Amino acid sequence: MARGGQGLARVAVVVRAGAAPMGWFGVIAAGLGGVPEGLTGRRIGVTAGAALFLVGAAVVALARRKRYAALARGAARAGKYDVLQDRAVTVRNWRRGHRWWLLLAFAVALGSGFVVPAAGGLLLAGLGAGLGLKAAWIGRRERAGDTLLWVRVDWLDRRGGRPAGRSVKGLRGTGIAAGDAAPGGARRRTAALV
């Protein structure tokens, strides 16, 4: 980067990147995994899956909140020469880096349907929902502080994830209008031209 600037990725976008594929893979695996009777029967499988969905979503949504909050409190202002990574690039990097894990998780969730119908798929969907809830929580913090949170790209792991991992020494902050993603990491809605 020119003059000491760093490439920065939005924290909420990194967190949110896995929500959609995990959610969709989970729903598909639950639907297909509910076809066989399994060892437990469909009713027990779906009930167990619903409980796993709730537990998985809660665990992922609440995990490492103290770390995220501490990093957010200590966020330094982004520099003039820092380069803000586009939302699409951040999402693509995360999904490319995790594609084999996602496919493995889908296969395991689908295969578990022959033992406990739909449960594995619902758990996977719950993990995706938890990521969405965590990104929304980060978005509320961003709105409350009127600051978007960014992490150095070179501090992410080699798969483009872990925006609050050990290698992350601190976050950077920008104004709420910076970048192409809204608080929480969703796409910005542009006003329709009349």
For residue range 10-37, list pLDDT tens digits in order: 999 999 999 999 999 999 999 998 888 8
**Mean pLDDT for the stretch of residues 103-132:** 95
Name which of 70, 16, 66 is nearest 185 in CA terms: 16
Distance of CA 23 to CAs 95, 123, 126, 130, 166, Å?
13, 9, 7, 10, 27
Residue 109 three-state SS: helix
- Using CA atoms, how far apart are residues 116 and 38, in angstroms rounded to an integer? 6
Arithmetic mean of pLDDT over the chain: 91
pLDDT, residue 190, reads 61
pLDDT, residue 37, reads 82
Share of the chain above pLDDT 90, in %: 78
Per-residue pLDDT for 1 more than 90? no
**Mean pLDDT for the stretch of residues 47-70:** 96
Share of the chain above pLDDT 70, in %: 95
Per-residue pLDDT for 112 more than 90? yes
pLDDT, residue 186, reads 87
**Mean pLDDT for the stretch of residues 153-174:** 93
Task: Give residue 144's pLDDT band: very low, low, confident or very high (50, 70, 90).
Answer: very high
